[in-house]
Amino acid sequence: MLVALAALSSLSACNRKAATNGAAANGTGTEAEHDHFPAHWPSTIFAASKRLAAFQNNEGHARSHNGVSPEQELIDLVRWLPELAADSDLNEATFDKIDSWSSETLQKLEPKWNGGAKLESLLAVDGFSKMISELQDIVQKEADRIAPFEN
């Protein structure tokens, strides 16, 4: 499964690059890229973790972000975690953990959201807070690991 997601992620990265190159060639900037990815798509697993933590910590999430409701953004972030993890250098065991969290959490979130639940109710889903905290720990360790190579 990791191989399939990695291949999908590579293909996705190629599509993003092709869209950007095509946009540059015809002078449209990043408009073509935005045709394929929603405005609230996080650039990395780090950005997704930071945004989920902002939701958890009640940091300005009452308003919509990038044109979507906070509830939709929250669901999308959880849904996109496996792809973002596959697009990083996280090891297979960590990827598997994130993939499992995403699946399990979506099974709890989506029925509530489809029933009209508001953000506070979604954030209160059993195990969600723990998942966000553990995700923050994972991305912090990864950030510390790669920091020496970023200059």
Mean pLDDT of 32-36: 57
| Same structural domain, 90 and 63 | yes
- Do both 20 and 64 map to the same domain? no
Residues 45 and 8 in one domain: no
Q: What are the φ and ψ backbone dihedral angles of 68, each rounded to 5 degrees?
A: -125, 160
Query: Are 85 and 129 in the same domain?
Result: yes
Q: What is the DSSP string of 62-119?
A: TS-BTTB-HHHHHHHHHHHHHHHHHTTT--HHHHHHHHHHHHHHHHHHHHHHHTT--H
Burial class, 12, CB count within 10 angstroms (exposed 0-12 / middle 13-18 / buried 19+) = middle
If asked whether residues 125 and 70 sit together in one domain, one would say: yes
The boundaries of the domain holding residue 13 are 1-37
CB–CB of 40/69 below 8 Å? Answer: no
Query: Is residue 44 domain-shared with residue 9, that is, in the same domain?
Result: no
Residues 130 and 71 reside in one and the same domain: yes
The answer to whether residues 58 and 121 belong to one domain is yes
b/e code 66-90 from CB counts within 10 Å (16+ = b):
eeeebbebbbbbbebbbbbbbbbeb
Same domain, 30 and 48: no
Same domain, 30 and 45: no
For 63-119, write each residue's pLDDT tens digit.
Answer: 666 788 999 999 999 999 999 999 999 999 999 999 999 999 999 999 999 999 999
Average pLDDT over all residues of the chain: 81
CB 9 within 8 A of CB 83: yes
43 and 112 in one domain? yes
Do 30 and 52 sit in the same domain of this protein?
no
Please give the single-letter amino acid code of residue 82: P
Q: Return the bridge partners of 65, or none.
A: 68
pLDDT in tens, 128-137: 999 999 999 9
The number of distinct structural domains making up the chain is 2
